[in-house]
Amino acid sequence: MRLTDPVADMLTRVRNALQARHQKVDIPASRLKLEIARILKEEGYISNFKPTEEEGHKVIRLYLKYGANNEAAISKVERVSRPGCRVYVRRTEIPRVLGGMGINILTTPRGVMTGRQARKEGVGGELLCEIY
């Protein structure tokens, strides 16, 4: 089975795992997904991630994060740019998520970064997703 949108698949797996209150979730690995996982960890939305191998397939294991009352650190994960409708933004058009409370993840010529970093570095790019 060939996935047409692996990033949406990753976000859906995370969303489903959070809803089911799982501690960890395995995602088929790619460089882009590793970068997204790195950003999620840096921004404090997941506790950790680890690239491993299972049955000959490379996977990324995300360790999900929950608060004191067992509420998830991530309340919403939304794909913005899709294969059927790509969304590109200039550095001046990068939207703020929940007035700065959430993050958006962009792919830029300088790599994958948050909207805040992209604004600081003065680069635009493809708006992958919003997380809060």
Confidence of residue 68 (pLDDT cuts 50, 70, 90): confident
Mean pLDDT, the chain, as a whole number? 94
At residue 1 the predicted structure's pLDDT band, cuts being 50, 70 and 90, is: low
Q: How many angstroms separate the CA atoms of 132 and 124, rounded? A: 21
CATH 3.20.20.70 fits 77-131, yes or no: no
Among candidate residues 17, 26, 15, the one with its CA nearest the CA of residue 55: 26
Q: What is the pLDDT of residue 61?
A: 97
Mean pLDDT of 100-121: 96
Question: pLDDT per residue over 38-62, tens digit each?
Answer: 999 999 999 999 999 999 999 999 9
| Per-residue confidence (pLDDT) for residue 37, from 0 to 100 | 97
Parse the chain into domains and list their residue ranges.
Answer: 6-64, 77-131
Is CATH 3.30.1370.30 the classification given to domain 6-64? yes
Model's pTM, two decimal places? 0.93
Angle between helices 6-19 and 31-42 (to 10 degrees): 40
Strand-pair category, 103-108 with 111-114: antiparallel
CA–centroid distance for 36 within its chain: 4
Q: What is the mean pLDDT of residues 86-93?
A: 96
